[in-house]
């Protein structure tokens, strides 16, 4: 009897191992990138848990765990029996709450690492950012070998650096815990609450008249499905002795485009006027610098949060595009949606924001 049952029990064990390796948790799965990750993972046959402080959508195939990633007690139930964790939670970069950035991105990520180790999660894939190497000066075809920014463009990015360092340091093949960081840049696509809605708002308010610089500076804008593809490939290629262990990878559309040409395509596609006038980069930068200085001086008297800051000028007026050769070589990455298709799909998905003719 026992001998007749053996093949069945071996098959059962094999299926259990296969199922476990396809069981994942997406931390931040209610967000823009997170929700796209969940949809693609389900398509690929993964069983998916979402851990987030809010439930952003409903899907009967997904098990939701609502909690704060800074609490190990909240996290643990969502990680039971899971093989791979995708950590793409963060406070919005537009927040000016430094304490929150530090708490969630840095100490919270250390809690995620601890919780993963405690329950025996084998792989952790972090969503970092290509901006961890950007200091407001031109980067052309930047590789992952460039050092972390000594003067990051903002506090959010400073905590993304701290977070990435901790995750990569935690890679520990001897104890069966492997880590990798994905660095996307300028994610866009359907349901993004930031880029297109803010662009349209700015155009509507008549503030989208000037291009900073000569309009030629190339930047990476990365379609959300390509970012998702990079994360899933990373999760699947992250194995003991693979080159991915403890490394960071740029994921882009591999088609850098002039910053202002990209915005113009979206604006024209939604029937808004594109910016027409050029303002020299140095002039915009010093104006923004002067404005920040004024805000600092007047700080004790009035609270103003300017949107025209030196950091925003640098983001709009410098070259910053990144090489994804390492991802191509180590995990066979190739964008799955071209920039033309991506722009077309994005414009279509925001038809409700289109200006009536
Ligand atoms: P998002 O704001 O849409 O999603 C973030 C999610 O994290 C939200 O659902 C939020 O509720 C959740 N979250 C925040 N604090 C939490 C906490 N304490 N506990 C549990 N959940 C929490 O952001 P996104 O644009 O989807 O970005 C996803 C990731 O990609 C972030 O790590 C971000 O730094 C990184 N990134 C984004 C871009 C971009 O252009 N959007 C570029 C580079 C890197």
pTM equals 0.93
- What is the C-alpha radius of gyration for the chain, rounded to an integer number of angstroms? 22
Would you say 163 and 355 are in contact if contact means Cβ atoms under 8 Å apart? no
Domains delineated in the chain: 12-274+306-353 (3.40.50.720)
334 Cα–ligand 1 center, Å: 24
Answer yes or no: 155 catalytic: no
**Residue for token pair 């329950």:** 119
Token representation of residue 233: 């490939």
Q: Where are the alpha helices (DSSP H) in the chain?
A: 2-21, 32-43, 72-79, 98-101, 108-119, 155-169, 195-204, 224-237, 259-269, 281-298, 310-317, 325-331, 339-349
Task: Report d(CA 339, CA 255) in Å as an integer.
Answer: 7
Task: Report d(CA 82, CA 24) in Å as an integer.
Answer: 5
Of the residues 31, 34, 75, 322, which should be mutated to test ligand 1's pocket, given the most ligand atoms within 8 Å of the CB?
31
Concatenating the DSSP letter of every residue in 276-332 gives -EEE-HHHHHHHHHHHHHHHHHHTTT-----S--HHHHHHHHS-EEE--HHHHHHH-
Report whether residue 34 contacts ligand 1, using a CB cutoff of 6 Å.
yes
Q: Which of 46, 106, 156, 319 is catalytic?
A: 156
Token representation of residue 241: 């002795």
Token representation of residue 305: 């949060």
CA-nearest of 130, 93, 135 to 314 is: 135
Per-residue pLDDT for the chain (357 aa), expressed as one digit of tens each?
344 445 555 554 444 444 567 899 999 999 999 999 999 999 999 999 999 999 999 999 999 999 999 999 999 999 999 999 999 999 998 888 999 999 999 999 999 999 999 999 999 999 999 999 999 999 999 999 999 999 999 999 999 999 999 999 999 999 999 999 999 999 999 999 999 999 999 999 988 999 999 999 999 999 999 999 999 999 999 999 999 999 999 999 999 999 999 999 999 999 999 999 999 999 999 999 898 888 888 888 887 777 788 888 999 999 999 999 999 999 999 999 999 999 999 999 999 999 997
Which atom of ligand 1 sits closest to the CA of residue 160? Answer: 34
């Amino acid at each position: 009897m026992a001998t007749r049952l053996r093949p069945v029990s071996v098959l059962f064990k094999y299926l259990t191992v296969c199922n476990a390796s396809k069981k994942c948790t997406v931390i931040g799965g209610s967000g823009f990138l997170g929700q796209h990750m969940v949809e693609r993972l389900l398509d690929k046959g993964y069983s998916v848990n979402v851990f987030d402080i809010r439930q952003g959508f409903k899907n009967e195939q997904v098990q939701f765990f609502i909690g704060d990633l800074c609490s190990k007690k909240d996290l643990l139930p969502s990680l039971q029996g899971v093989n791979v964790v995708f950590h793409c939670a963060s406070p919005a970069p537009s927040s000016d709450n430094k304490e929150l950035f530090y708490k969630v991105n840095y100490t919270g990520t250390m809690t995620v690492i601890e919780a993963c180790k405690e329950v025996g999660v084998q792989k952790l894939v972090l969503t970092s950012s290509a901006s961890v190497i950007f200091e407001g000066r031109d980067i052309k075809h930047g590789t992952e070998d460039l050092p972390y920014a000594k003067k990051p463009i903002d506090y959010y990015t400073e905590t993304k650096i701290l977070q990435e360092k901790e995750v990569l340091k935690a890679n520990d093949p001897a104890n069966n815990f492997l880590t990798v960081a994905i660095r996307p840049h300028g994610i866009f696509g359907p349901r993004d609450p930031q880029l297109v809605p803010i662009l349209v708002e700015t155009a509507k308010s008549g503030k989208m008249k000037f291009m900073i610089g000569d309009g030629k500076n190339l930047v990476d804008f990365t379609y959300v499905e390509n970012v998702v593809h990079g994360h899933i490939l990373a999760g699947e290629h992250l194995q003991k002795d693979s080159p991915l262990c403890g490394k960071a990878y740029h994921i882009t559309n591999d088609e850098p485009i002039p910053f202002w040409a990209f915005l113009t395509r979206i604006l024209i596609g939604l029937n808004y006027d594109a910016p027409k006038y050029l303002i020299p980069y140095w002039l915009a930068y010093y104006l923004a610098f002067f404005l920040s200085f004024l805000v600092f001086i007047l700080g004790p008297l009035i609270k103003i949060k300017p949107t025209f800051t030196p950091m925003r000028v640098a983001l709009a007026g410098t070259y910053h595009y990144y090489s994804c050769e390492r991802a191509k070589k180590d995990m066979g990455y190739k964008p799955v949606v071209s920039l033309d298709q991506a722009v077309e799909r994005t414009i279509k998905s925001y038809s409700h924001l289109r200006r009536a003719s």
